[in-house]
Amino acid sequence: MPAALGFHPRRSLVAIALQGKRFVFHLRADLPAPEYADECAAQLLPPLVAQQPDGVLLVAYTEPEPSSDVRGVDRLSADALVAELRRKLSQHDIDVREAVRCDGARYWSYDCDREECCPSDGTPYDIESSSTLADAVFNGLEVLPDRSAVEQRFHGVAGARRVEMEAVTERMVTEVLAAGGLDVEDEQSWDHGRLGRHPDLLRAGAAYVTDLLSELDGERAGSLSDEDAARLTIWTLLLPVRDLAWSYIDRDNAEHHRQLWTGVAQRAVSPFEPAPLCLAAFACWLSGNGTQARCALDRVSEVEPAYSMGTLLTDMLERCVPPSAWRPFDPAMIRSQFPPEAEQQSA
């Protein structure tokens, strides 16, 4: 489960929608107090039903209890939420294939009470020795300690590192403007709506993004310099260039783009934060990491609440649109909307 979520869940319920034996969708919720189990289950139900699953798995995560004779608050909360969600799913003819509670060292089945199979003291497990988790980490998947660590990833650069990135970004702004035949005075009133219509600037941005992203691989995604990260934050402030960058993200390369745009977003400074955060969120969602997508979009809502791409992606997540529903758009189609070179020469 940590490999699927990207972090180790605590005091949580994870619900997994199945099609056959495939995991097609998952969601996670904090365990509510027992008296709010019905309300929480009602909120979790619609996105699960929307997947039209063959079945659902429920995994509750609680903290260890002082003794097997004491039912702690976590366990009471888990028991109540599992029971309520199971009941509501049954009303939609959705079968809960298995429901278990885990405390980090042992797990208990809600469906089996045979001592020889599922002992009352729980069945020991060791997540650190999981071959699935080890394989995921070996293949480049980072599993963070908890959800707060995921949130922290998108909080933005701070302290001395922020001062450093502000200086790098200032230098790159001058370079970007020069690439479009503009001078530094245009930076003083950075109107990206106006600059986004400047033909030379748009074509320079398109060329840069195409060169960097058209053959993106894991090595390149993970070794982006501060200068290139700053360039991307600046170029994607221009909406046509941002959309071109967006068009390069598909299901086959989403993990590489998640790595790249998360790294860019972590180094972005004002006013260049929303676009890389949104591109990171989209790549996270398309690669199946809804939690990271949500954390990136929460940050967008802090820095620019009305940013349209952030609003669109937030709506997609809230409606639980599955990544399989995404139909990518062709970078060539986006590039065709940029002013042709002949127009620039005659301008």
Confidence of residue 156 (pLDDT cuts 50, 70, 90): confident
Query: Stretch 84-110: mean pLDDT, rounded?
Result: 93
Which of 133-137, 180-184, 188-192 reaches the highest mean pLDDT?
180-184
Cβ atoms of residues 13 and 81 within 8 Å: yes
pTM greater than the 0.85 cutoff: no
Asked whether the predicted pLDDT for residue 207 surpasses 80, the reply is: yes
Which pLDDT tens digit goes with each residue over 223-234? 899 999 999 999
Asked whether the predicted pLDDT for residue 139 surpasses 80, the reply is: no
Q: Provide the Cα torsion 113, 114, 117, 121; round to 10°.
A: 60
Letter string b/e over residues 307-337, b meaning 16 or more CB atoms within 10 A of that residue's CB: bebbeebbebeeebebbeebeeeebeebbee
The CATH class given to the 2-143 domain equals alpha beta
CA distance 270 to 9: 32
Asked whether the predicted pLDDT for residue 116 surpasses 90, the reply is: no
Beta-ladder partners of 59: 14, 100
The per-residue pLDDT for 69 is 46
- Residues contacting residue 27 through CB under 8 Å, at least 6 positions apart: 14, 15, 44, 47, 48, 290, 320
Domain ranges of the chain: 2-143, 152-346
Joined tokens for residue 208: 């840069």
Return the higher-pLDDT residue of 184 and 161: 161
In the chain, what percentage of residues exceed pLDDT 70? 82
Confidence of residue 319 (pLDDT cuts 50, 70, 90): confident
Residue count (the chain)? 347
Which pLDDT tens digit goes with each residue over 277-300? 999 999 999 987 888 899 999 999
Asked whether the predicted pLDDT for residue 87 surpasses 80, the reply is: yes
